[in-house]
Each structure stands twice: as structure tokens, then as C-alpha cells.
Amino acid sequence: MKNNKELAIKAKDKKSPIGEDIDLDVFKSEDRKASSKRSMEQIAAEERRLMENVGVNPDEKKTAGLYVQIDQSKVFYNSLNQKAEILPIKDAIKKYEWLKDYYWNAVNVDTDKYTSAVELELHNGYFIRAGEGQKIREPVQACLMLKTGNIKQNIHNIIIVEENAELHLVTGCVSPSILEPALHLGITEFYIKKNAKLTFTMIHRWGKRTLVRPRSAAIVEEGGVFINNYIILSDVGNLQTYPTVYLKGENSKAELYTVIYGTGKSIYDVGGRIILEAEGTKGKVVSRTIGADESIIYARGQLIGKHSGCRAHLECNGLLLSDKSRLTAIPELEAETTGVELSHEATIGKIEQEQLTYLMSRGLSEEEANSLIVRGFMTINVPDLPATLQKTVDDAIKLTKLTGF
């Protein structure tokens, strides 16, 4: 058996090939540790407001459960209908011996210094599991909040959707916008078993100086479906992530959607990679990036076809709203055998005068026309997403303060 600690120590200073290097030693640990709680009453009003900004509502009736973590150790959780199992990952490891087969399995512990840091100093994270055959239509909500300046938050999440089960998870990650520099490292490992289905919707809203390095990967087995929906519409100091999906089972399917509305001087480097390893696998990577202010956005996408009869499409569309913003689309296709069907489409454009003229002639002001075009551009209809979650996504987009005009 591999020794995660040892591997992590070796990778302690291993830089990531993409994204600005972060000096991890600057960030502190919490002064005082809080303990796991089960009561939602203890969430302060201010914290609730932050949560609602990222689509998490602790009072929501139509939910299958909740996990909230504030900074490093303050954790609240419940599983309302007892269908989905929800536990802090530290408790789950103690409870289930078998979890070690999942822990650092989809993501390698020695990927880079960030994965290493999470192994060497784990603050917590969630373990969420839908049992065999359980189809849970109401979403499970999770919120990871970074509230204190100058600290780090090292998270490790594991999501398991057992055979023939269905799970919808929304995770909001949030910081107050004016927070001092702080660091969020988040490992997420997804396991979608035979004929299971997971939709994972993640909404980020960070502070101007928050540094963010998520590292996630999914393993999808035969007939499984993984739909990933990532939305960031706020400032951030610097964010880099490149989730990878391994379609290991025949006829498994993955779709990754990303919407980035870049503001301020933020730097976003967001990718999506699908590795098609079996017969009949299908993939789709779609991103919509909008560059306002002086934001810098990299939209990466990679499709790797390893088995004949697989098919995937990559689509990166960018809309530039400011001369000082910069958008880069980096699509990559790789076929390792014949009979692989991969395609891509990348566009970067600006709002056309013709579109404004058209909408204004219908009575909209120039500003209304601009925001309608931008909102339209950001609209992606994610298949299989429960209506409540589609609404969460739409609401998040409505909350965007459209700057630049």
C-alpha cells in the first residue's frame, strides 16, 4: 500500500505546471479550534447571507441535507431525509476502514505542493454518499466558507454515488469580498459507480485577495453520468483549477460546464479535462468566459480519447467587455487510437454594435441591451439539473453586478 504521508512530504515543494506559485508558509492555522456541531441555529446571520450568495440556503425545505464548514474546524452538518449520508471527512475516515481505497485515489497525493499540503495538514471537508439504488432528487447543499484573513483552509471532499443511485450536490465556496489574503485548497474526489448519476454544481464567490487552488477528479464507471457545473462571478486574487474526469466504464458520460465572469484585477485559470478510456464514452466541455475590468482569464479544455468509439466535444466561448481584460482559450484534443471522434470550437469576441442597435430599437437602453447580451451569453442550460438547482444557477447569474458599462 502506498504511504500518502511519505509521498506528500516528497511533493512538499513541487510546483504546479500551471498557475502562479503560491508561498504556502505565509498562511497561518486557526488560533482556536471549534468542534463539529449538528445545530444550524449556530450559523450567524452574516454567515447565512454569505451562504445565500452562493446558492446555499440552510432553511431550504427541499434539500436532502447540508454540510457547512467555516474556516478550518467549525463544521455543521445534517442529513435531513437520511437518504444521503453526510459526514465530516475526518469522522468518515474513522468510521469506514474501506474509505482508504477512495482517499487519494482519483487525485494523486503528490500532484503538487497543494495536494501535499492538504495531506499534511487536513482541516476537514465532507464525505457524501448516496447508497446503492437511492435516487435523491432534492439537492444536498454544502458550503465552504473562508472568513478569517491570513489563514489557510485545507479541504478534502469525497463523494460516492453507488450503483444505480442519483445525487445532486451544490457546493458554494465563499469569502467576504474585502477579506485579507487567505488561501483555500480543496481536494474533491468523485466516484460515480455503475449506472449512477451525479450533478455537481459549484458556485464560487471569493474575496479580492483570496487565493484558490482546487484539485479535483472524478472516476465514472459503466453507464455512469457526471455533470459538473462551475460558476464564478466574483473577484478572486488568483484561482487555478483543472478538474479531470476519467470515463473508465463503457458508455459512461461526462459534461463539464464553466461560467466565469471576470472582474477587478482577478486572475482565473480554469480548465476541464475528460479522459475517455472505454467504448461508447461521451464527453463535453463547455466554457463561457466574460472579461470585464482588468481581469485575466484562461479557459483550458482537454479531451483525451483512448478508446475507439468514444466521442467528445469542447467549446470555449469568450466575450471581452473591457480593453484591459485578457481572455485566452486553450483547447487541446488528443487521440491515442483510431475511431475516436473529438471536436472543438473556440471563439472570443466582443459585443457587436449591431446587437446593441437591434435591442435598443426594441426600446431597451444601451445598458439594458449590454446586460441582456452578457446574461444571455452566460446562460447555459445544464441537462438533467433539477429545477431548483437551475434556478440557483440563474439566480447567481442575476446577482452579478455587470461592470464595464
- Contact between 360 and another protein by CB under 8 A: the answer reads yes
- Contact between 353 and another protein by CB under 8 A: the answer reads yes
- Contact between 40 and another protein by CB under 8 A: the answer reads no
Mark the segment that binds another protein (CB under 8 A) among 131-139, 154-162, 232-240, 378-386.
Answer: 378-386
Q: How far is the CB of 296 from another protein (least distance, A)?
A: 24
Q: Which three cell numbers stand for residue 298?
A: 484562461
Mark the segment that binds another protein (CB under 8 A) among 68-76, 115-123, 135-143, 361-369.
Answer: 361-369
Mark the segment that binds another protein (CB under 8 A) among 23-31, 71-79, 136-144, 357-365.
Answer: 357-365
Q: How far is the CB of 331 from another protein (least distance, A)?
A: 19
- Contact between 31 and another protein by CB under 8 A: the answer reads no
Site for another protein in 45-104 (CB under 8 A): none
Q: How far is the CB of 367 from another protein (least distance, A)?
A: 10
d(CA 184, CA 144): 9
Q: How far is the CB of 354 from another protein (least distance, A)?
A: 5
d(CA 36, CA 261): 34
Looking up cell 485566452 gives 328
Site for another protein in 379-398 (CB under 8 A): 379-380
Q: Which lies closer to another protein via its Cβ, residue 39 or residue 381? A: 381
Sign of torsion, CA 360 363 368 372?
negative
Q: Which lies closer to another protein via its Cβ, residue 376 or residue 383? A: 376
Q: How far is the CB of 357 from another protein (least distance, A)?
A: 6
According to CB under 8 A, which one of 6, 13, 336, 368 is a site residue for another protein?
368
Q: How many residues bind another protein (CB under 8 A)?
A: 23
According to CB under 8 A, which one of 375, 386, 394, 399 is a site residue for another protein?
375
Mark the segment that binds another protein (CB under 8 A) among 140-148, 249-257, 296-304, 374-382.
Answer: 374-382
- Contact between 372 and another protein by CB under 8 A: the answer reads yes
Q: Which lies closer to another protein via its Cβ, residue 323 or residue 366? A: 366
d(CA 173, CA 239): 13
Q: Which lies closer to another protein via its Cβ, residue 177 or residue 355? A: 355
- Contact between 150 and another protein by CB under 8 A: the answer reads no
Looking up cell 464548514 gives 69
Label each residue of the chain as H, E or C: CCCHHHHHHHCCCCCCCCCCCCCHHHCECCCCCCCEECCHHHCCHHHHHHHHHCCCCCCCCCCCEEEEEECCCEEEEECCCCCEEEEEHHHHHHHCHHHHHCCCCCCCCCCCHHHHHHHHCCCECEEEEECCCCECCCCEEEEEECCCCCEEEEEEEEEEECCCCEEEEEEEEECCCCCCCEEEEEEEEEEECCCCEEEEEEEEECCCCEEEEEEEEEEECCCCEEEEEEEECCCCCEEEECCEEEECCCCCEEEEEEEEEECCCCEEEECCEEEECCCCCEEEEEEEEEECCCCEEEEEEEEEECCCCCEEEEEEEEEECCCCCEEEEEEEEEECCCCCEEEEEEEEEECCHHHHHHHHCCCCCHHHHHHHHHHHHHCCCCCCCCHHHHHHHHHHHHHCCCCCC
- Contact between 352 and another protein by CB under 8 A: the answer reads yes
According to CB under 8 A, which one of 42, 81, 337, 357 is a site residue for another protein?
357
Q: Which lies closer to another protein via its Cβ, residue 20 or residue 352? A: 352
- Contact between 327 and another protein by CB under 8 A: the answer reads no
- Contact between 9 and another protein by CB under 8 A: the answer reads no
- Contact between 358 and another protein by CB under 8 A: the answer reads yes
Residues near another protein, by CB under 8 A: 352-355, 357-366, 368, 372-373, 375-380
